[in-house]
Amino acid sequence: SWFTSNPQSIRMLDSVNVTKITGYSGNAVHLHTIIQSGDTDFAYISNTPGDPTKAQGGIPYAQMSTGLSGYYRYNLPGNDTALIFVIFKKNGSVIGMYTDKIRGTGSQPSWTSFSFTFTPALATTPDTVIMAAASSNGISDKGIQNGSWLDLDQLVFNGPSSAIPNGNFDTWTAYSFDIP
């Protein structure tokens, strides 16, 4: 239920930048930014294969959520900023777009609960949701630092009880690649 930057990272730098780790509870996802030989490769996850910044794709979701909660830890040196996006759509049109910029003090090495409220609140019930997170702010392309990382676990929507598919990151599928 999550797409990652790993295929791109393997092509660019012959490594992966989204990995499974031990989480707050069970498994979690680790996203880290790699800058190597002038190439910048920030990690991301998304619940859709389309471009979440352009509101492409999404999964069915029909609840009036008020926010997003979960657990995170991070290390964001310099002026780097990690991001979490949530975009709600109805009949193909965006009805709510929310971004949580994670900056904090630069480093939060212990699992910490977080919650952000969707402001302004949804005015109508959506039929689709797009979710994404990134280890660096590739949208503004400012302040990106080698080694920045973000760990996420136990993501849930606030308000109605509607689970985020694999929001606990406990289910993983391993892939292998042969590259000539």
Q: Which residue has the higher pLDDT, 152 or 163?
A: 152
> Is 113's pLDDT higher than 70?
yes
CA angle 124, 130, 135 (to 5 degrees): 135
Of 4-18, 26-40, 108-122, highest mean pLDDT: 108-122
Measured at the CA of 53, the angle between CA 47 and CA 55, to 5 degrees, comes to: 70
Output b/e per residue, 62-81; b: 16+ Cβ within 10 A: eebbebbebbbbbbbeeebb
Q: Looking at per-residue confidence, does 103 or 126 come out higher?
A: 126
With contact defined as beta carbons under 8 Å apart, do 154 and 77 qualify?
Answer: no
What does pTM read for this prediction? 0.92
Give residue 104's pLDDT.
66
Instruction: Return the pLDDT at 157.
Output: 95
pLDDT for 21: 96
Question: Is the pLDDT score of 123 beyond 90?
Answer: yes
* Residue 40 pLDDT class (50, 70, 90 cuts): confident
